[in-house]
Chain A
Amino acid sequence: MSSKRKLHKWSIDFSGHGRSKSDRQVQVQDIRAPVGYTESTGTIVEQSGKEADQKLIDKRSWDIALGPLKQIPMNFFIMWMAGNSISIFPIMMVGMMFFKPIQAFISVQNTFVMIEGSQAIIQKFIYIFGNFVCLMLAMYKCQTMGLLPTHASDWLAFMDPQKRMEWSGGGLYY
């Protein structure tokens, strides 16, 4: 508490933080606009701004949609760097490679909200496709590392012993 008080002692509030909302409103309206400042810039600006917005939205949507695909070369590099040995770092990297697209799939609703515009459907499709490719890439990495149970040897431990059909006994004549 004492520090707060001290702080109060030494602080000067320029923003009018402490004052009421109505006071601030009044003050802003009271101050005249500076020289050369016009409040309205006219309709042209308005129109060009709208077009640019659309372009920006498209551009941003494409950015989002192409994001996963752009990561692929990087992923390839990471894969190459990680190697095929099974140790903590390659496993972490493979884990990250899996984690990212899965996370993207989970939050796909939020991402789609951001994707707007006329090409939204294509962009959404490309976004999903990109993530899917990343996932495949991670799978491929697992495959090359031998982590996928694709061989018969991986299921060997679960095989039941063969049932014995005949019983035989004997040996040398006593």
Chain B
Amino acid sequence: MMTGNILLLLGVLQTLPISQALYEDQIGKFDWHQQYVGKITDMFWDQSFNAGKRVLVSSERHVLASVHSHNGSLAWRKVLEDGPRGRIDKTLHSGNLLVTLTGGGRFVRKWNAGSGLADWEVSLPGSKSGRADLVQCGRDLLAVMIQDAVYGLDPRSGRQKWSVALPQSNQVVYTHLFTSGTNLFVIGQSLGQQVTRVTVDMEGVVRSTESVKAPWLSESTQCEVTNGGVLICYRSEDQSLQTLTLTDGQVFKSTSLQILGLEPSEEVSMETVRKVEEPLIFLRTAKNHMALLELTNDGVKLKKDLPSICAAQVVSLDDKSMLFTLERIPGELKMKVYDLETGSEMADLYQTITYLPQHGYPQRIEVLMFKKRDLRLGCRFAILSEDYSMQMVLKAERDGSPGKIAWRREEALAYVLSVEMIDLPVSENQAKYEDEFGSHKDDIATMFMKRFKTQISQLKTYIQQQLQKLQGHRHHHHDTEAMAESGSDDDDEDLTRDEFNLNKLIVLVTGAGKVFGVRSTNGHIEWEHFFPELAPFDGNNQQKLLLFVQRTTAHFPNPPQCTVVGKHKGTGNGFLFSFNPISGEPVDTPPTGQVLNYRITQTSMLGELDDHFLRGILLMDPDNQIHVFPGKCLSVLKKTFGSQYMFVADRETGFIKGYRTVPNQGKFLMENVWTVNLQKKQQTITQVVGKRPLEQVHSQGRVLGDRSVLYRYLNPNLVVVVTEGEFIEQSQRGGVFNTINLYLLDSVTGHMVFHCSHKRAKGPITVVHSENWVVYNYFNQKSRRLEMAVLELYEGKEQSNSTAFSSFSSPRQPLVLRQSYIMPLFISTMATTVTEKGITSKQIIFALKLGGLLALPKALLDPRRPLVPTQETMEEGTIPYIPELPVNAEAIINYNQSLYNVQGIHTSPAGLESTSLVLSYGLDLYFTRVQPSKMFDVLKEDFDYFFISAVLLGMFVVTIATQKLSARRALSRAWK
């Protein structure tokens, strides 16, 4: 019986379109992959064998990478562990040595800078406070400080030479490690009390432990240790700098910023100078104001005030120290270089660089100095900007024309929060046709002329296309080479819709405050906007920036429109930016974005379009007043406010409140109509997942084996509320276990449609909510494995109302079917495919932690899968139930292109019903297309046109010939 079942299952599985593997020559044909490193925190010019050819970077996204300096591509990239274990505390690079300290002092790894391979790894106990430091002392010692000890390691093998426990490690937070001469200094801080200085010699013996009174130490105090062994702390309370010489200092010396002649501000920060021996430090008081300070025994001296300078670095070459400064002027960067000793400007190194305003202020500069063959000084440098971009200047200004950015890496794309794919506009010709149908005022003659003109231009473009095709084949090779050289700035073809509307413009909104328009064909950036003041909503431990499509491309001649909703960095008020997604031009809002005068607590979209097919956005403020953006859509709300509802779930209180819209003196208010209390004491709301607002569902029901219909419960207002909590087990073993609750709530009436609970189950939970089903995953603590569960809702065999769905008259208790399965691999997120009309069967795409994107048909996650297959279930086409979900290598849609830290998957319909477009974002961007029911609406690429047309033609010829022959035969027979 069992083997029979399995055979049956195998048979059914073979008929399912699980596999959609590619042929080798299809790689990269309709998919692309972009690798990023994230916001760069440390940057070094590679000093090992390929000196000057590569830049080593480490980022806050736990990435260590080496970037080719000639084109910005990655030589290698190491993505370290997720979570606090992988955080890079310190990166150290000098000579051939590249060492990282990660996870709060848990791992020390030495890397081969050329290949990116790890030479050795040492595991240390790690630091409770998360503070750890690493320094190199001479050639044979690496010192690592964690909270309670200092370790001496051999840089060649990683062998531990010695370790020394730090005194009073439970009271003092050790923050800095510094080496000077033959001693190591460990600096510890006790807030409000003192600074502890522990001196350790190179053999690992504690020489002395001293305390220096520092009653002013607070959480906001920033401390740095400069070269030459001076500890400098900045107090934001009274804007003063406190300095202490590490070797012999006994008291802190205080210097006020005012005395130095510097304007104190909110955002003062310090940047250490490492490349020279003198005790120098940069003080930044604003985005474009820095100062170079010199620390002496008497306190702080202003070495050079650098007004309107946004990035600076001190570099030394042949015992000569130089100060590089960058100043941003509109459209350009001015780089001035000063000799540090004399303070005079070195005019031969002065240059200007073309710089686009959408990168914000440069924040860091990393200069590589070298001597040219004619012994003149030359330099190349990398710039890190406010928008997380990294740019490289290789060639200096020549003959008056400003220096050029050789390449740039848009690392903001590793922080994508919202995605939409927008249809491209129709071509000029088609637009003309639409124009013809659009206007009714023209008389016959002008209409005829219009039609004639359009058709002429159509013929012209057709001929041009054919010519291009002929030439294209010839020059194809050159084109690809040229493209590789010029990078992403090459001129792509026009943004017009293709035959099947497969190519889109992808709008990406990133946490860096940057909005991108990216072509779906090749991933090239079409336009970009940077808003330094735009910040994501960051309540509930998750960052959120909203992107609304207010008008699609379908309403020619009205242009499409999208709006980004976030919050203003300074005030926390609402921040809006509305734009045309194709051209990137701002619409309705100023180009720098619009700051509202209220906070946004919740947003929604209007149900109806206005006269120009624009869908308004509803913004709710803390006083429950509703605002409409743009203001011209207020008339729509005036008409339809009776059917406009809203709900807000509060994680802090555990309440979910439902509101209806009420007019009040020309304004609209939200009136609380229902409240659901989810008992904050026992559980917290972690997720609220609704359906896509404009989801297309083709089939109203499901055909059963006996040919009756099980009608779906398609409530568009249904939301899934996930809560996670803990419970104490009552059995003799006891212990605390996690529990998960799922509530299916009608967001208009507050009616609890369904509730289920998983005991001994733990998040993180991903929920996919579409049509009449919900798929979610959880970690089963009892069996210690990942499980998938599916809920499907049905009205039953009768449909209560076939024409309209109202939450007020919907069936109270729909039929809920559920089943769960074992997922053999861990996943980071999942999504379902979406198609144009919703006819194609669905697939669920899982982002595996292993780096793959696994596409499984929804039929495998179907609660009607029978335990024992019968004739009827076979008729229905359900697969017999087997707990494990199959993971098939051919179902991995990104083949061997591993994706790291996938944050989300966005799917979007293409013009072809069979096709769905998939973009996975996270550290990498990966775009591809899937056909869940195979490509049923287009002939396959390998379709044998020649054979079929030859056969058809042959048949035609044979028919005519035989007709002729038979006629002759009949004639001759008649003659007999």
Asked whether A164 and B716 contact (CB < 8 A) given A146-B707, A170-B602, A173-B650, the answer is yes
> In the complex the two chains form, what is the Cα distance from A4 to B975 in whole Å?
9
Contacts of A152 on B, CB cut-off 8 Å?
Answer: 708-709
Contact with B along A143-171 (1 / 0, CB 8 A): 00010000111101101111111111111
Contacts of B645 on A, CB cut-off 8 Å?
Answer: 166-169
- Most chain A CB within a 10 A radius of its CB, from B647, B650, B687, B716: B716
> In the complex the two chains form, what is the Cα distance from A156 to B700 in whole Å?
7
- Shortest CB-to-CB span from B878 to chain A, Å, is 15
* A-facing residues in B567-581 (Cβ within 8 Å): 567
- Decide if B607 is an interface residue (CB 8 Å cutoff): yes
- Assess whether A151 is in contact with B708, with CB atoms less than 8 Å apart: yes
Which of the candidate stretches B35-43, B432-440, B800-808, B817-825 sits at the interface with the other chain?
B800-808
Contact with A along B631-657 (1 / 0, CB 8 A): 000000000100111111111100000
Contact with A along B788-808 (1 / 0, CB 8 A): 000000000000011111111
- Assess whether A163 is in contact with B646, with CB atoms less than 8 Å apart: no
- Assess whether A173 is in contact with B648, with CB atoms less than 8 Å apart: yes
> In the complex the two chains form, what is the Cα distance from A167 to B661 in whole Å?
11
- Assess whether A171 is in contact with B606, with CB atoms less than 8 Å apart: no
- Decide if B699 is an interface residue (CB 8 Å cutoff): yes
**Complex A-B, nearest 9 residue pairs according to Cβ-Cβ distance, in ascending order:** A169-B604, A167-B607, A165-B806, A170-B647, A174-B537, A162-B805, A168-B645, A153-B703, A163-B804
- Decide if B106 is an interface residue (CB 8 Å cutoff): no
> In the complex the two chains form, what is the Cα distance from A153 to B704 in whole Å?
8
> In the complex the two chains form, what is the Cα distance from A152 to B795 in whole Å?
15
> In the complex the two chains form, what is the Cα distance from A109 to B534 in whole Å?
86
Contact with A along B724-737 (1 / 0, CB 8 A): 00000000000000
- Decide if B232 is an interface residue (CB 8 Å cutoff): no
Q: What are 12 A-B pairs at a CB distance below 8 A?
A: A151-B708, A156-B709, A157-B698, A162-B804, A165-B808, A167-B605, A167-B640, A169-B690, A170-B649, A171-B688, A172-B648, A174-B601
Contacts of B652 on A, CB cut-off 8 Å?
Answer: 173
Asked whether A174 and B804 contact (CB < 8 A) given A167-B643, A168-B646, A169-B690, the answer is no
On chain A, the number of residues with a Cβ less than 8 Å from chain B's Cβ atoms is: 24
Chain B residues proximal to chain A, CB less than 8 Å: 537, 539-540, 544, 567, 600-607, 618, 640, 643-652, 685, 687-688, 690, 693, 696-701, 703-704, 707-709, 714, 716-717, 719, 747-748, 801-808, 975
Asked whether A172 and B805 contact (CB < 8 A) given A151-B708, A152-B708, A156-B701, the answer is no
Q: Which residue of A lies closest to B565 (CB)?
A: A174
- Assess whether A162 is in contact with B802, with CB atoms less than 8 Å apart: yes
Contacts of B804 on A, CB cut-off 8 Å?
Answer: 162-165
- Assess whether B606 is in contact with A167, with CB atoms less than 8 Å apart: yes
**Number of interchain pairs (Cβ within 8 Å):** 128
Residue of A4, A151, A161, A169 near B697 (CB, 8 A) is: A161
> In the complex the two chains form, what is the Cα distance from A157 to B697 in whole Å?
11
Residue of A151, A159, A161, A169 near B707 (CB, 8 A) is: A151
Residue of A160, A164, A173 near B602 (CB, 8 A) is: A173
Contact with B along A44-65 (1 / 0, CB 8 A): 0000000000000000000000
- Shortest CB-to-CB span from B622 to chain A, Å, is 10
Judged by DSSP, the binding face of A is: mixed
Contacts of A173 on B, CB cut-off 8 Å?
Answer: 539-540, 601-602, 648-652
> In the complex the two chains form, what is the Cα distance from A172 to B640 in whole Å?
24
Contacts of A168 on B, CB cut-off 8 Å?
Answer: 604, 644-647, 717, 747-748, 807
> In the complex the two chains form, what is the Cα distance from A164 to B804 in whole Å?
6
Residue of B644, B696, B714, B975 near A162 (CB, 8 A) is: B714
Contacts of B605 on A, CB cut-off 8 Å?
Answer: 167, 169
- Shortest CB-to-CB span from B744 to chain A, Å, is 14
Asked whether A162 and B700 contact (CB < 8 A) given A169-B604, A172-B649, the answer is yes
Residue of B537, B540, B604, B716 near A170 (CB, 8 A) is: B604
- Shortest CB-to-CB span from B869 to chain A, Å, is 19
Contacts of B700 on A, CB cut-off 8 Å?
Answer: 156, 159, 161-162
> In the complex the two chains form, what is the Cα distance from A8 to B716 in whole Å?
92
User: A162-B801, A167-B717, A173-B650 are known contacts; what are 16 more A-B pairs with Cβ within 8 Å?
Assistant: A151-B709, A154-B707, A159-B701, A164-B804, A165-B804, A165-B808, A166-B808, A167-B606, A168-B644, A169-B602, A170-B648, A171-B690, A172-B539, A173-B602, A173-B648, A174-B537
Residue of A146, A153, A164 near B607 (CB, 8 A) is: A164
> In the complex the two chains form, what is the Cα distance from A174 to B598 in whole Å?
13
- Shortest CB-to-CB span from B837 to chain A, Å, is 10
- Shortest CB-to-CB span from A102 to chain B, Å, is 27
> In the complex the two chains form, what is the Cα distance from A165 to B715 in whole Å?
10
Asked whether A156 and B703 contact (CB < 8 A) given A162-B714, A162-B804, the answer is yes
Contacts of B650 on A, CB cut-off 8 Å?
Answer: 172-173
> In the complex the two chains form, what is the Cα distance from A171 to B601 in whole Å?
10
Contacts of A169 on B, CB cut-off 8 Å?
Answer: 602-605, 618, 645-647, 690, 693, 747
Q: Which residue of B lies closest to A150 (CB)?
A: B707
> In the complex the two chains form, what is the Cα distance from A157 to B696 in whole Å?
14
> In the complex the two chains form, what is the Cα distance from A124 to B136 in whole Å?
114
Q: Which residue of A lies closest to B606 (CB)?
A: A167
- Assess whether B708 is in contact with A153, with CB atoms less than 8 Å apart: yes
- Assess whether B703 is in contact with A165, with CB atoms less than 8 Å apart: no
- Shortest CB-to-CB span from B938 to chain A, Å, is 21
- Shortest CB-to-CB span from B607 to chain A, Å, is 3
- Most chain B CB within a 10 A radius of its CB, from A151, A152, A165, A167: A167
> In the complex the two chains form, what is the Cα distance from A157 to B702 in whole Å?
10
Contact with B along A110-142 (1 / 0, CB 8 A): 000000000000000000000000000000000
- Assess whether A174 is in contact with B539, with CB atoms less than 8 Å apart: yes
